[in-house]
Amino acid sequence: MPNYKLTYFDFDGGRGEPVRIAFHAAGIDFEDKRISFPEFGEMRKDMRFNSTPELEIDGIVITQSNSINRYVGKLAGLYPEDDMQALYCDETMDALEDLLHYIVQTFGLEGDALRQAREKLAEGWLSVYVRGLGDLLARGGGEYFADNRLTMADIKVFVQVSSLVSGTLDHVPTDIVARLAPSLLEHQDRVQSDPVITGYYTSRA
């Protein structure tokens, strides 16, 4: 079996979390290298595209979170085999990447600049993407985004919605999901109680 090392920030969430969950679901041991933000600041100049997560497979470095999601998702049986359902899964994951791009642009801001940027984000792109994700969930049948079962798309949405409703993003209303796409909250509860998710967080505890 290959040796895997995932490098990502030292918190439960973000782009690296779905990969960690999928590795656990697959029963595959991997090195979970968790770095601090100051460490990333020192490392990024030597990282391809100056970004993380990075997955090393027998020393070969792979970047781009959705590419990693697909690879590990297939190992875990969490990625659709049907081409159309795989397309649904990919669309959902790519939409989240677009949203994260807008969210990350507000990181590092402080005071009024942060408040104004986050309020603009909440009223603009964040609302667009929350509504859009609600539409994608409805297209998938209302319970899952693709394949009528848990896939990497559901796990990635679960991680992002958890962040939105928890209040970790200052100046973003925690009821934005409930107001714009309440079906995502039902989805959140469904995924949170799935054995794949409960098993992972029990192991973390």
pTM above 0.75, yes or no: yes
pLDDT at 95: 98
Do 57 and 139 belong together in one domain? no
* CATH code of residue 63: 3.40.30.10
Q: What is the pLDDT of residue 152?
A: 98
The burial of 202, by beta-carbon neighbours within 10 Å (0-12 exposed, 13-18 middle, 19 or more buried), is given as: exposed
For residues 197 and 108, what is the distance between their CA atoms, to the nearest angstrom?
Answer: 31
Question: What pLDDT is recorded for position 56?
Answer: 98
Asked, for residue 204, whether it belongs to a domain, the answer is no
Q: Are residues 66 and 126 in the same domain?
A: no
Residue 112's pLDDT is: 96
Looking at the fold, whether 96 and 176 belong to one and the same domain comes out as yes
Q: What is the CATH number of the domain that holds 151?
A: 1.20.1050.10
Domain containing residue 162 = 83-194
Order of strands across the sheet that contains 4-9 = 31-35, 4-9, 54-57, 60-62
The predicted pLDDT at position 205 comes to: 80
pLDDT at 135: 98
Task: Based on the fold, state whether residues 67 and 25 are members of the same structural domain.
Answer: yes
Say yes or no: 51 and 138 in one domain: no
Same domain, 141 and 120: yes
Q: What pLDDT was estimated at residue 48? A: 92
Q: Do 128 and 46 fall into the same domain?
A: no
In a domain, 69, yes or no: yes
Domain-terminating residue out of 51, 77, 103: 77
Could you tell me if 61 and 129 lie in one domain?
no
Helix (H, G, I), strand (E, B) or coil at 12: coil
Per-residue pLDDT of the chain (205 residues; tens, 9 = 90+): 899 999 999 999 999 999 999 999 999 999 999 999 999 999 999 999 999 999 999 999 999 999 999 999 999 999 999 999 999 999 999 999 999 999 999 999 999 999 999 999 999 999 999 999 999 999 999 999 999 999 999 999 999 999 999 999 999 999 999 999 999 999 999 999 999 999 999 998 8
For the chain, what is the domain count? 2
Residues 105 and 189 in one domain: yes
Q: Quick one: 130 and 151 in the same domain?
A: yes
State the pLDDT at residue 1.
83
Same domain for 71 and 154: no
Backbone angle region of 190, left / alpha / beta, with phi > 0 → left and psi within -120 to 50 → alpha: alpha
Is residue 201 in some structural domain? no
Q: Please give the pLDDT value at position 9.
A: 96
Which residues partner with 35 through β-bridges? 9
